[in-house]
Amino acid sequence: MTLQRRLEGTIRDVPDFPTPGILFKDITPVLADPVLLADVIDAMAAPYAGRGITHVVGVESRGFLFGVPVALALGVPFAPARKPSKLPWRTQREAYALEYRKDVLEMHVDALGTPGQVAARVLVIDDVLATGGTAMATCRLVERLGGEVAAVAVVVELGFLNGRAALAGREVHAVVGF
């Protein structure tokens, strides 16, 4: 059975979460299956092996679950993009809109290195690409910190929400699409 079919049979739909009218794609059953989880991590990392990625940025919070093992697989540092006031040191921030609320992401000012170093080549990781607001905010934040976004990789893409349009001109890789 293909990885896409295995994911389609494992990811569950949760209606009206976190707000009425949203059909949430719950990836926690994937986390409960170590073989499937390993295959997802491999599918996210493999396209970027040997492509000069220097950092992986994972988006809070489920992007951390996939970003850390992808960073390990690629042998590069991991940097978190977090919600406000979660990071203990100086940060840069980026506000953005989602399909059901507004939010802010922050990263440490030195998450991708220090000024004067060669620009980081970053792979942005998250669990779901919906409208693209979170991914685009993360890309803008990475660029503000002096990095170059090589690509955005997600486990699930909700194609009917057209998140790729928000990321026009950027490479996007999804393990499974709905």
- Residue 146 falls in which region: left (phi positive, over 0), alpha (psi -120 to 50) or beta: left
d(CA 56, CA 74): 9
Query: Is 62 part of the annotated catalytic residue set?
Result: yes
Pairing verdict, β 148-157 and 172-177: parallel
From the list 6, 8, 60, 99, the catalytic residue is: 99
Residue 99 catalytic? yes
The helix (run of H) or strand (run of E) holding residue 10 is: helix 3-10
Q: List Cα–Cα distances, 79 to 44, 63, 137, in angstroms.
A: 17, 11, 15
CA distances from 150 to 11, 28, 47, 161, 167 (A): 27, 27, 11, 23, 12
Residue by residue, DSSP assigns 129-162 as: ESSSHHHHHHHHHHHHTT-EEEEEEEEEE-GGG-
Query: Which is the catalytic residue, given 62, 106, 121, 157?
Result: 62
Query: Which residues are the active-site residues?
Result: 62, 99
